[in-house]
Structure 1
Amino acid sequence: MVNEVKEKFILHWNYRGFTKLPEVVRNYGAHIEEVYLKYNLLSNLPLWIAEMSNITNLYLHGNQIETVPDELGEVTHLTTLDLGNNKLKTLPPRIGKLQKLKVLLLNENSMRILPSEINRLKNLETLSVSGNKLVALPEWLGYLPSLQELIADHNCLIEIPNSLTLAPNLSTISICSNRLQHLPLNGFLAAPCIQFDNNSNLNYLSIPVSYQLSQQNHSFQNPRDILAYRCSRVVSNDDGFWIKSKLSIHLKVEILGQDGKDTTILKLPRQLVTVHNIDESSIPSLMELALRDIYCERYNHTLVIDHTTLKVEVNRAVIDRHNECLELTRYLNDLLKNGPISICLGIQCQQPIFTEAWITVNCDPTTTFLRISTFCSRKCALNLTTQTDAPRENRRWYII
């Protein structure tokens, strides 16, 4: 083993039955760059792991590790860290010091929350947390500037952060086999490939997200290749028109079709706290109007939907001009930072929407989903729903 460590830069020690990392690595392996220790019997890592300063790739998948020492944060050349299929519930605070880390694999552990220290990993490109016990993902995921892949299958998620719609480099989101009740309403800035099969409570998409997903390539040769396989379970409820909970609004939508009336419950994102009827000439609250005005002062955020080519373009850029310091509550600052819940789909409007909206619903003939459109005012909603020459009773639009 001494000769092996001295002569190699990569140690392939998978399936060796190790119960601890051999001391020979510490004595003779300062030059080692990659270590594969998958499917051993390790229960922890030694504190002297900090001395292995040249390691770039460390694979510990399939062990029995319950805790990771803070000293791992001193292995600052790490670019890939695989801690999957262990018994981890959290990570050490100094994990945030791994500024060169690009791939972090935490699959098949017992994590209920993601440690906030991960938000310091500015070069992180891939984060995989499938098979844990996560019930929510933090909004700071959308602030990771280099994040390209987010894999969070087989958890207990009911939603994903709105800030992900503004992530600049996101190419893949996989959130299959969770408990999702909705996807974000806003279009995604980077137009990522989104996989969300086996979320039976998810029964609608926004128009922007629906159009973006329609541009993904699907072969349809196998039922599992169909967009949103095993989603869209219809839930009936005979209670009132508006059904409110402590966290979010439920909408009861009645759709008249050839086979009679069908009832579906739509659960909207928590950030949207007020939904107006299309016949309601209400004025948005002062807080909502202030959020819209401040956001428009700070950003240039456009959402362009081409209905003929099913193309969506989303752009968001900081406007380069001096703004006075705004004394806002943490709640309002978070709303602005995480981005609007949607952009008004009214013709030539582009107003951001944060907490209040007018909503219309229509059937998507290509999927089992309903599609919803959000508007900043009754005027914008009526303008779009009257753009067809067909009689109202023949339109595929249904107004809530």
Structure 2
Amino acid sequence: MDKLKLRSGTNIYNDSDYYNAVHWNYREFTEFPVKLLRECNPVTDLYLKENRIEKLPRDIACVFFVGKLYLDGNNIRAFPVEMCRLPYLTHLDMSGNLLITIPEEICQLTNLQTLILDDNQLRWLPISLQNMTNLKELSVNDNSLYWFPQKIGSNYYSSSVRFWRNRTLHHVPFALWLHVLNDSQLPVAEKLCRLDDLEWSSYAGESLKNTVRIGRSQMELVIPQQFHQIEQCASGSPASLLELCLRRCYIIYYRVLKADAPRHEDENNNEIDKMPNWISRTMQFGPTAFCDVSHCNCPLFGYAVLAVCVRDVDNESGRILATAFFCSKSCCEFWKRVYNTEPLEWTLTR
């Protein structure tokens, strides 16, 4: 069969003539079959389940047009950055591997809708997941997560999020708690954070540990290391000028990119390339969190006012320890009035 000739700008999923699925499950491959794939027509669906692949190649662009990629049940230890450059990828299943981290560059998979990472060894999820507005399904069951992003995609309400059996995950974002309650996924309270006589310790890094004391329990909340300044609800310390500038730049950057991307995509990319590297990466990967007051939703980079509260789910399931981030003390005070919540006291130790 002759190789397909793809026209520039063609969406291969709108034309059935371009569909090409390759099923190579249970073949005992020990490496990604690059040579074999180069001999095939452009692959749209690639199934490599239950092989013995340990490493993904840098030239994974040989499956440039792949839309669905199934790599579950292998021995893959690293998620290569090069895989974040597959523009047509909509479904990625890497469950049952040995992944420890996911790169922040995953946000470059702008068409990704389903991401399945069950049964790995993940401790963190990339903050840039919150910029993946097309992501509708995320599954990270049976990992070792310590921290969860404040939101996934546009928000938790428009996404399906599964994160059961992460025994080291003891607190969840306030927005996720609301999603859990509204979606009646009450078993999460039993699997995550029963506070009865709880004693555990987890670490946020070498320099930042946020300790919350509740009765006899002492807990260290895992906070993203990107936060340079964490304030208590009662604190009145303002954000730095750099923080305020980053917030404003991100709002302008996001609005311009969203409005003009279809017409001036190349021009936008050129402008981004002209920016200093650390600023362009900050804008691309997005803020560490967003203000939890819905009408504000201000991006947060290195500064946040942190509130920690205990929410009752029901009489049987117990309570959830929830964390919320705010851009200022005034937003935190507004949040306390709306949800009739009194945050717990906590102390910051270094």
Q: TM-score, normalised by structure 2?
A: 0.78
Deviations 1:172-228 (A, max 9, x none): 11111111011101353162111111101111122222223434364x7xxxxx236
- What is the alpha-carbon distance in structure 2 between the residues aligned to residue 78 and residue 375 of structure 1? 45
- What is the alpha-carbon distance in structure 1 between the residues aligned to residue 67 and residue 174 of structure 2? 33
- What is the alpha-carbon distance in structure 1 between the residues aligned to residue 201 and residue 182 of structure 2? 37
The 3 A distance-change label for structure 1 pair 200 and 59 is: same
Superposition map of 1:128-207 within 5 A: 128-186=93-151, 188-189=153-154, 191-207=158-174
- Could you tell me which residue of structure 2 aligns to residue 232 of structure 1? 193
1:254 corresponds, among 213, 226, 232, to 213
Q: Tell me if the contact between 1:194 and 1:213 (Cα under 8 Å) persists in the aligned partners.
A: no
- Could you tell me which residue of structure 2 aligns to residue 361 of structure 1? 308
- Could you tell me which residue of structure 1 aligns to residue 237 of structure 2? 282
- Could you tell me which residue of structure 1 aligns to residue 179 of structure 2? 212
- Could you tell me which residue of structure 2 aligns to residue 65 of structure 1? 29
Q: In the alignment, residue 253 of structure 1 is paired with which amino acid?
A: V
Q: For structure 2, which runs of at least 5 residues remain unmatched after alignment? A: 3-17, 262-266
- Could you tell me which residue of structure 2 aligns to residue 318 of structure 1? 258
- Could you tell me which residue of structure 1 aligns to residue 297 of structure 2? 350
- What is the alpha-carbon distance in structure 2 between the residues aligned to residue 80 and residue 330 of structure 1? 35
Q: Specify the SS of the correspondent of 2:78.
A: coil
- What is the alpha-carbon distance in structure 2 between the residues aligned to residue 66 and residue 386 of structure 1? 58
1:89: how far off?
1.9
Q: Tell me if the contact between 1:201 and 1:232 (Cα under 8 Å) persists in the aligned partners.
A: no
- What is the alpha-carbon distance in structure 2 between the residues aligned to residue 201 and residue 238 of structure 1? 9
Q: Are 2:332 and 1:381 aligned?
A: yes
Number of matched pairs: 318
Q: Tell me if the contact between 2:289 and 2:301 (Cα under 8 Å) persists in the aligned partners.
A: yes
Q: Specify the SS of the correspondent of 2:60.
A: helix
The 3 A distance-change label for structure 1 pair 142 and 325 is: closer
- What is the alpha-carbon distance in structure 2 between the residues aligned to residue 56 and residue 345 of structure 1? 44
Q: For structure 1, which runs of at least 5 residues remain unmatched after alignment? A: 1-29, 32-53, 221-225, 301-315
1:102 corresponds, among 67, 73, 79, to 67
- Could you tell me which residue of structure 1 aligns to residue 228 of structure 2? 273
1:399: how far off?
4.4
Q: Specify the SS of the correspondent of 1:299.
A: helix
- Could you tell me which residue of structure 2 aligns to residue 293 of structure 1? 248
1:370: how far off?
1.1
Bigger shift: 170-179 or 97-106?
97-106
2:87 corresponds, among 122, 128, 133, to 122
Q: In the alignment, residue 304 of structure 2 is paired with which amino acid?
A: A
Q: Tell me if the contact between 1:74 and 1:97 (Cα under 8 Å) persists in the aligned partners.
A: no
Bigger shift: 230-239 or 134-143?
230-239
Max Rg structure: 1
Q: Specify the SS of the correspondent of 1:85.
A: coil
Q: Specify the SS of the correspondent of 1:365.
A: strand
The 3 A distance-change label for structure 1 pair 236 and 335 is: farther
Q: Tell me if the contact between 2:129 and 2:152 (Cα under 8 Å) persists in the aligned partners.
A: no
The 3 A distance-change label for structure 1 pair 107 and 350 is: closer
Superposition map of 1:54-93 within 5 A: 56-71=20-35, 72-93=37-58
The 3 A distance-change label for structure 1 pair 124 and 292 is: same
Q: Are 2:196 and 1:245 aligned?
A: no
Q: Tell me if the contact between 1:75 and 1:98 (Cα under 8 Å) persists in the aligned partners.
A: no
- What is the alpha-carbon distance in structure 1 between the residues aligned to residue 221 and residue 108 of structure 2? 28
1:78: how far off?
1.3
Q: Specify the SS of the correspondent of 1:363.
A: strand
1:283: how far off?
2.4
- What is the alpha-carbon distance in structure 1 between the residues aligned to residue 220 and residue 23 of structure 2? 45
Q: Specify the SS of the correspondent of 2:191.
A: coil
| Cα-Cα RMSD | 3.4
- What is the alpha-carbon distance in structure 1 between the residues aligned to residue 167 and residue 279 of structure 2? 33
Q: Specify the SS of the correspondent of 2:319.
A: coil
- Could you tell me which residue of structure 1 aligns to residue 344 of structure 2? 398
Deviations 1:135-190 (A, max 9, x none): 10122222212211111111110111122222122121111111101110135316
Q: 1 or 2, which has the higher helix percentage?
A: 2
- What is the alpha-carbon distance in structure 2 between the residues aligned to residue 80 and residue 187 of structure 1? 25
The 3 A distance-change label for structure 1 pair 328 and 183 is: same
- What is the alpha-carbon distance in structure 2 between the residues aligned to residue 337 and residue 368 of structure 1? 36
Q: In the alignment, residue 333 of structure 2 is paired with which amino acid?
A: L
1:263: how far off?
2.9
Q: Tell me if the contact between 1:186 and 1:340 (Cα under 8 Å) persists in the aligned partners.
A: no
Deviations 1:36-73 (A, max 9, x none): xxxxxxxxxxxxxxxxxx98222222232112343314
The 3 A distance-change label for structure 1 pair 361 and 92 is: closer
Q: Specify the SS of the correspondent of 1:264.
A: strand
